[in-house]
Amino acid sequence: MKWATYRSAVDGQEHAALYDDGLLHALRGERQLIDLIGSPEALTEAAREVGADPLEVVSADTARLLAPIPRPPSVRDFMAFENHYVTSMNALGLPTNPVYYRQPVFYFQNPVAIQGPSEPVPIAPGSRQFDYELEVAAIVGPPASNVTPAEASAHIAGYTILCDWSARDLQAAEMTMSIGPGKAKDTATSLGPFLVTPDELEGRRGGRGFDVRMTAAVNGVVYSEGNWADQFWSFTDLLSYASRGTTLRTGDIIGAGTVGTGCILELGAVHGAEAYPWLEIGDQVTLRVEGLGQISTSISPGAPVHPLNSNSSVADRPDQA
């Protein structure tokens, strides 16, 4: 099944909808997609309901699609593709770390920054090196706590496309503090267009993921081409690790991280900045993953940067010695 969340033009409200052959069949009532994915039975029953008596049937092409889970409890983003990890660390001037091969690594993203698949994306304030990241993500169904990799698949409600918009200049500065990215990835994260249940992809298993083509284009020119099957860490490993010592809640987002070649940072490091310039206002970015659909959006101006009191008149302390 493919499910979406959209805002109806009739009542202005958010509705869960089952996607079928280009059409969205909306669920009646106030239940959202996050209310359905806690158990496979609830999602199956909801599909029966919309098949028999939908609230409305609208074209997915004209509907205002939101993120499948517009307000997830949490968002974790991993680095599950080795090629991206090695190349991007080199581009940022950082060494690779053997810890990567012993355990998956992630950081927490901002759940408030989640956007739908076609909402314009503002540049992070102050950034001149704005970038996309072509990713897939799992959406947690039944809650998971301390699950094994073998148990983890039962806790995946479905998959979607994720774009972790990244300010590389801000990221390079922040990561010198050994604390990970902050404002570099705080402005926007695109998600969607659908939640695709695992059975839809079952026949395409390959490697540690699925044999599925992933592409990104800027202004109609294909920049990135990768394959989901190239994951070094599988989603079952990611969920098992993420649930260690805590509880993953229904609707939590688990990003796999960028596929190899899936960002300008990597491409520029290999082919040169002239061939792959950073994103600018007005650029059109389209991310496609076979079987999951596409995110297609434009880059918009960022908010102004307000000077901070403590750095407006005080020089860097090491220079004061």
Question: What's residue 320's pLDDT?
Answer: 53
Close Cβ partners of 187 (under 8 Å, ≥ 6 residues apart):
113, 121, 122, 123, 124, 125, 165, 167, 302
Considering the domain architecture, whether residues 50 and 187 belong to the same structural domain is answered as: no
Considering the domain architecture, whether residues 119 and 232 belong to the same structural domain is answered as: yes
- Residue 59 φ/ψ region, left for φ over 0, alpha for ψ in the -120 to 50 degree band, beta for the rest: beta
Considering the domain architecture, whether residues 137 and 271 belong to the same structural domain is answered as: yes
Q: Are strands 144-145 and 205-206 parallel, antiparallel or unpaired?
A: unpaired
Considering the domain architecture, whether residues 191 and 281 belong to the same structural domain is answered as: yes
**Packing angle of the helix pair 82-91, 264-271 (nearest 10 deg):** 70
DSSP 284: E
Question: What's residue 319's pLDDT?
Answer: 58
pLDDT, tens only, 53-94: 999 999 999 999 999 999 999 999 999 999 988 988 888 788
The chain-wide mean pLDDT, for the chain, equals 94
pLDDT, tens only, 267-310: 998 898 899 999 999 999 999 999 999 999 999 999 999 999 87
Q: Annotate 24-34 with b (16+ C-beta within 10 A) or e (fewer).
A: bbbbeeeebbb
Report yes or no on 227 lying in a domain.
Answer: yes
Report yes or no on 58 lying in a domain.
Answer: yes
Considering the domain architecture, whether residues 156 and 273 belong to the same structural domain is answered as: yes
Report yes or no on 284 lying in a domain.
Answer: yes
DSSP 263: S
* CATH code, 167: 3.90.850.10
Considering the domain architecture, whether residues 234 and 158 belong to the same structural domain is answered as: yes
* pTM, rounded to two decimals: 0.95
313: pLDDT strictly greater than 70: no
Considering the domain architecture, whether residues 241 and 295 belong to the same structural domain is answered as: yes
Question: What's residue 310's pLDDT?
Answer: 77
Q: Report percent pLDDT > 70 for the chain.
A: 97
Q: How confident is the model at residue 316 (pLDDT cuts 50, 70, 90)?
A: low
Domain end among 39, 66, 93: 66
Tell me what the mean pLDDT of segment 87-116 comes to. 91
Considering the domain architecture, whether residues 28 and 152 belong to the same structural domain is answered as: no
Report yes or no on 261 lying in a domain.
Answer: yes
Domain range holding 159?
Answer: 75-300
Domain count of the fold of the chain: 2
Considering the domain architecture, whether residues 201 and 246 belong to the same structural domain is answered as: yes
